[in-house]
Amino acid sequence: MLLVHGTNDETVPVSEAQEIFARRRDERVRLLLIPGSHDQYAEMERHFETVIDFLDGATRPLADRHGKELS
């Protein structure tokens, strides 16, 4: 799970994302905090690589993630 949240979001406080992250914390959960609100996209482009890396890991076959093939 990748949680992406703006640090100045006035609709949903950033503390909500932090609480979800704290409750679900394991190696498969990441929290990406982006400066600004959900309608400010100036900072988003600099985080594309982080999102792509997360998706790459999440979609890798189970055999690659755990070192053995699952049947």
pLDDT at 36 over 60: yes
Beta-carbon-side half-sphere exposure of residue 27 (alpha carbons within 13 Å):
4
Q: In the structure encoding, which two tokens stand for residue 2, read together?
A: 């990748």
Fill in the DSSP letter of residue 30. E
Rounded Cα gap, residues 52 and 41, in angstroms: 17
pLDDT at 49 over 70: yes
**So what's the pLDDT on residue 25?**
73
pLDDT band for 45, please (50, 70, 90 cuts): confident
Tell me the residue length of the chain: 71
3-state secondary structure of 6: strand
Predicted TM-score (pTM) of this structure? 0.68
